[in-house]
Structure 1
């Protein structure tokens, strides 16, 4: 009789256990899907910064950044991070980028020096300098606790890169461990 009771108890436990497992499984799937969706939202600069921004706004930011920095091969991922952060910091930033782009187009501005001269003492000078500082420093605000959006990719380290090591405590440079070690030309003899 005890065997019978145990088998009845086991079948009851099994059905209870199955319903608990289903609940846990469904909860885990739901949590994972929320994580994937929220992770996808933060990786897209247009969505993370402001729902009104779109890829055309970001493309305009990159085109303007190329003129302002004088570099055509800017790091797009760094650009996404900078654009998103600048839009979050200043809700008017996307509009200022559009105004700057229109000013450049209307006045046929060939380089940043000409733009700087024309914008002296005008409201669009500040956003222009904000973009330049962000690309060159890799941060969008000064201070000890500023968030770093790009360190190795910051333009201030790209220009002298052939003669200067990026400042770091890692002896072989930042992220040195991701590169393949140099090949061994000959075996050492002892």
Structure 2
């Protein structure tokens, strides 16, 4: 799927096309990059009242990752305003490839909550946290599911057997275990060499990692 088609699908959701395409009047006179990004975000996502503090952080992160972003943002906003389109599908069609890339760089973090590309095989990557509670990907199911978090039912909620689950009794004194749980590790063991190579991104599979280690021993 190309990037233009992906953007079209993103702006075609029922929660988006139902909202009017307009520029927030309260911010129309503010030409700072963060305010411009907020206006572009609301036009592209179809949501009014997006968090200005999130927009400010997003603008800072995108500008840090790409020094040309402020200029690309200004260009995109100029095209959005001059297109004269109220239909988002036609609006996307009117954008060139550079504007499409800029629009995706803006919209994706609003939905995912981060910029960049997180990696599961490297110790470091270019991903940056933007927001958790305001991530728009949780909106479609907000009427039936809670936004996931680390403690959905208060402190130590895990010590109680969930309602409707048949399970053996919990060990005596489980609430007092804390860091002294019977199975708690007292020290962190050194990582296995093959695993470390994969985490560092030097090998993609266990076979590759073992081959590299064997070559180093020769």
- TM-score, normalising length from structure 2? 0.50
TM-superposed deviation, 1:109? 2.7
How many matched pairs?
119
Is this contact kept in 1: 2:113–2:131, CA < 8 A? yes
Instruction: Look up the SS of the partner of 2:141 in the other structure.
Output: coil
Question: Is 1:64–2:45 an aligned residue pair?
Answer: no
Greater Cα radius of gyration, structure 1 or 2: 1
In structure 2, the gaps of 5 or more residues are: 1-29, 120-124, 155-218
Q: TM-score, normalised by structure 1?
A: 0.57
Aligned to 1:165: 146
| Structure with the larger helix share | 1
The answer for the alignment partner of 1:123 in structure 2 is 98
| 2:76 paired with 1:100 | yes
Aligned 1:86-97 pairs, distance under 5 A: 86-97=62-73
CA-CA distance at 1:143 after TM superposition: 1.2
Counterpart in 2 of 1:138? 113
Preserved CA contact (<8 Å) 2:61 2:128: no
**RMSD of the alignment, in Å?**
2.0
Contact 1:138–1:148 under 8 Å retained in 2: yes
Unaligned residue ranges in structure 1 (runs of 5+): 1-53, 174-190
Superposed CA deviations along residues 32-84 of structure 1, whole A, max 9, x for unmatched, are xxxxxxxxxxxxxxxxxxxxxx9622221111110111110101111111111
Aligned match of 2:52? 76
